[in-house]
Amino acid sequence: MLAKAIETLGVSKDVVGEGVINFTDQRLHLPIIGRSDLEYSQQVFIDAASSHSHSVAPFGLLEIKTSWDRLGKLKKDGSRSFLSPKVPLTPQRNHLIQVAFYKKCKPKHDAKLVYVTKDDFKVFDKNNCQDLTDENLENYYEEMVRTCLRRERQVLKYNDLTDKQKFITEIVKDLDPQFDHPFLWSIGDQFVKAAKELWSSNGGNK
């Protein structure tokens, strides 16, 4: 289904996958780094639009979100059923923030967000989703920067600590680790276990 979505969007020329984006916002101490799923030329659409006096961005940027079938309950015969997800009616907020960052870095790119399941796909762009207009993407980018500023201020509170273990112990007390986050803790079971033990031993939830 992903291949069909990409074909429908006309992604075929000058395609770059997993492009590293390194962006510096002067309000932040550290750069913001991301990876775009697909960047591509929209020359075929530019050629088609020229005869109709329409304007088309020279490049496209596609962020892909996939959802997979999940194991369901056991059937009477002992086999497993599967639960099939549906494509969302609206984009998720954290996905919009991600696309907003890419758009900020690549202002000449036409940003799209596509959700793909085994049986279906849905493409969101500025034409069918108000959140993906340039103005609203700028608002989402500013929301991301505010989050980064809060995190940097939090770390800088402990800037004078020279003892590494003391630094770790103190900052852990002020953090919400979000252990239920869908992907941030995909770092290996042993490291997740160590993080939870550190969190628990320094005033976190038992």
pLDDT tens-digit readout, 89-118: 999 999 999 999 999 999 999 999 999 999
> What band does 184 get if pLDDT is binned at 50, 70 and 90?
confident
Other Cβ atoms less than 10 A from the Cβ of 127: the count is 10
83 forms bridges with which residues in the sheet?
Answer: 70
Of the ranges 38-42, 146-150, 180-184, which one carries the lowest mean pLDDT score? 180-184
Instruction: Retrieve residue 160's tokens.
Output: 């004078």
Nearest to 118 by CA among 17, 29, 27, 3: 3
Pairing mode, if any, of strands 109-116 and 121-124?
A: antiparallel
The pLDDT value recorded for residue 12 is 62
Query: Residue 189 is which amino acid?
Result: D
- Tell me the per-residue pLDDT of 150-166, one tens digit each, with 9 for 90 and over: 999 988 988 888 888 88
> What band does 176 get if pLDDT is binned at 50, 70 and 90?
confident
